[in-house]
A = this chain, B = another copy of it.
Amino acid sequence: MEKYEAPIEDMNFVLTQLLNFESYLKSVNNNQITTDSVKMIIEEASKFATEELDSINHIGDQEGIKLENGIVRMPETFVKAYKKFVKNGWFSIIGENEYGGQNLPLSVIAIINEIWQSANISFASNNMLTQGAIELLESHGNEKQKIEYLPNLISGEWSGTMNLTEPHAGSDLSSIKTKAIKKDNKYYIKGTKIYITHGDQDMSDNIIHLVLAKLDGAPKGVKGISLFLVPKYFINQSGAKSKNDIKVVSIEKKLGHHASPTCVLSFGDNDGAMGELIGEPNQGLKAMFTMMNNARLSVGVQGLAISERAYQKALYFSKERKQGSSLDKNISGTVEIIKHPDVKRMLMEMRAQIEAMRGLTITTGNFIDKYKNSPNSSEGKDNLFISNFLTPIVKAWCTDQSIYITSLGVQIHGGMGFIEDTGAAQYYRDARILPIYEGTNGIQALDLLRRKLFQENGQTYIKVLKKLEKTANLALRENNKEINEIGNLLLNCVDTLKNTSLWLIKKYKENPLQAASGATPYLNMFGWALGGWIMVDSAVKAQGIIKKDNNSKFAKEKINTSLFYCNTYLPFAISLENTIKKSYYPLENFA
């Protein structure tokens, strides 16, 4: 029976080789963890994921969830797994020490999150949302709120949700209608929220809803939105629970994520759902956005994770399934389909993209870590700006590619891929929400163009490109023709990115509609180039390993995958220049 195992060796390679994690830990005086202890955590997570989460993923998809008498019922297996997840302390990898968290670096959290999301994306969505709630409360909650809510969220006994969208306010939050009425120093929330992931479930003891709403007399638009904490239950000193005025109206029938409840919640059908204000009045969207940046990284990780899972399944199948004879005349009889060049090519595509994504997500986490460790130094600020720049790219590029990769996963299974029992189709369905939620990929591209490209007066992208150049030049210095070639490809790519970025900056000022037409291909170009940066660096570091150990199978494979990535995708990235500059056509075409 095929089952998920975390790609531990590759994860460690990114940490130790690409990030030089050991010296990072030293530089930030982090004595709590070592590369060895992190390795152990990853190994334990992998074991838990295989045994407890991957094993129930397909059942969850087939069984789905039920809304019974206003309560969302999860599959029984999920309820059990949740208790174990809490008991084993997996929620608390994030969160400050004083509230019970282990406060691991984001680079490590990205790795562990990948593991959960690979094994069971419906289950892990709950964890992802709670992580967001913890982060938000740590940044914007007051001391009393932190003490009251953080310990239970960090332990996972309670979980968290984000309540933004309303029926007529999807991507555009300025038009939300949910109201917050202040009475006797308390806030009463009234309104309907849709698409609330894990908006109700019977796994955690309580649910802490973070809700965007408008105070009476608040300014119009985004400047009048406040943020409230609205618990499902109030629990008094003696532990007695009383229910807040929140109703689960319905759960959505979705393409995927069948075991992740997506709820329509009605707040305050009776007297109003009682809540607390988080942060200052009318500053809710800002608070939500500081959280969202990391949430976008988390969704990028979901794209990577579901791709990895689809890859593992397809790889297993292609080694088991025998069909057809080889084109190699020295091989006789029916062969495993992995021996057919086109199947191998599909697997190489999946693997090369996945390794590039993994390097990029962990590296982005590391930039944020470095900023957090030194928020006021000029280097720290650089790291913040760079991570800001990378985040929309990570979110959109990794999730767009997850559609392609999970589709290849189905393809490799042939006819069996279309049969639900096989399981490959689930990843294809589950992946499809990732380019949509947490800001559609089109919105990520606009964010990149309008905000991030103009950040620091247009200096951030230059700083990013300098890093790519530096890596490309390292590759040119290697005594290996093929690695020199991909170094040159990366340099060409950097040149094209420079020209195109300048063109876009200019064009955006002249004609924002035209510039915005090229936003998505521009984000893609950057995504493929950043992946190239990771893979060229990987090849260089793998060469370093080979110099010490000529037999390293991992390093040899890494070089192959790097060459494949760069030769396949960097010419494509370069070709996007024309697309970016010529994507603008009149609306009349659709009149």
Contact = CB atoms under 8 A, between A and B. Distances in A.
Contacts of A339: 587
25 contacts: A165-B415, A171-B414, A252-B419, A255-B410, A255-B425, A315-B590, A327-B516, A341-B519, A341-B584, A342-B520, A410-B432, A410-B436, A411-B436, A414-B436, A414-B440, A415-B436, A417-B436, A418-B433, A563-B582, A564-B582, A567-B579, A568-B579, A571-B575, A571-B578, A572-B579
Nearest to A426: B255
Contact of A343 (B416, B417, B442): B442
Interface in A345-404: 345-348, 351, 403
Given A341-B583, A345-B517, A568-B579, 17 more contacts: A253-B420, A255-B418, A255-B425, A255-B429, A256-B418, A327-B513, A340-B442, A346-B442, A411-B436, A414-B440, A415-B436, A418-B436, A429-B429, A557-B588, A560-B586, A564-B585, A567-B578
Nearest to A324: B172
B582 A567 contact: yes
A281 interface: no
A323, A344, A517 interface centre (most CB from chain B within 10 Å): A344
A47 B354 CA distance: 47
A437 B417 CA distance: 11
A328 B516 CA distance: 11
Interface string A503-514: 000000000111
Contact of A575 (B325, B437, B517, B574): B574
Interface in A287-344: 315, 318-319, 323-325, 327-328, 334, 338-344
Contacts of A563: 582, 585
Taking each of A165, A170, A519, which has the highest tally of chain B beta carbons within 10 Å of its own beta carbon? A170
A105 interface: no
A421 B136 CA distance: 33
Contacts of A145: none
B567 A446 contact: no
B341 A513 contact: yes
Contacts of A590: 315, 318-319, 338, 344, 347
Contact of A587 (B338, B432, B568, B587): B338
Contacts of A323: 170-172
A327 B507 CA distance: 13
Contact of A583 (B165, B445, B561, B568): B568
Contacts of A340: 442, 516
Contact of A407 (B318, B419, B432, B557): B432
A-B residue pairs, 4 tightest by C-beta: A342-B442, A575-B575, A567-B582, A341-B516
A560 B583 CA distance: 10
Contacts of A437: 415
Interface of A: 165, 170-172, 175, 194-195, 252-256, 315, 318-319, 323-325, 327-328, 334, 338-348, 351, 403, 407, 410-411, 414-421, 425, 428-429, 432-433, 435-437, 440-442, 445-446, 512-514, 516-517, 519-521, 553, 556-557, 560-561, 563-564, 567-568, 571-572, 574-579, 582-591
A568 B591 CA distance: 22
Nearest to A413: B436
Contact of A517 (B344, B571, B576, B587): B344
Contacts of A575: 571-572, 574-575
Contacts of A512: 327-328
A432 B440 contact: no
A244 B475 CA distance: 69
Nearest to A410: B432
Given A328-B512, A347-B590, A411-B440, A571 B564 contact: no
B170 A415 contact: yes
B415 A446 contact: no
A510 B584 CA distance: 45
Nearest to A579: B568
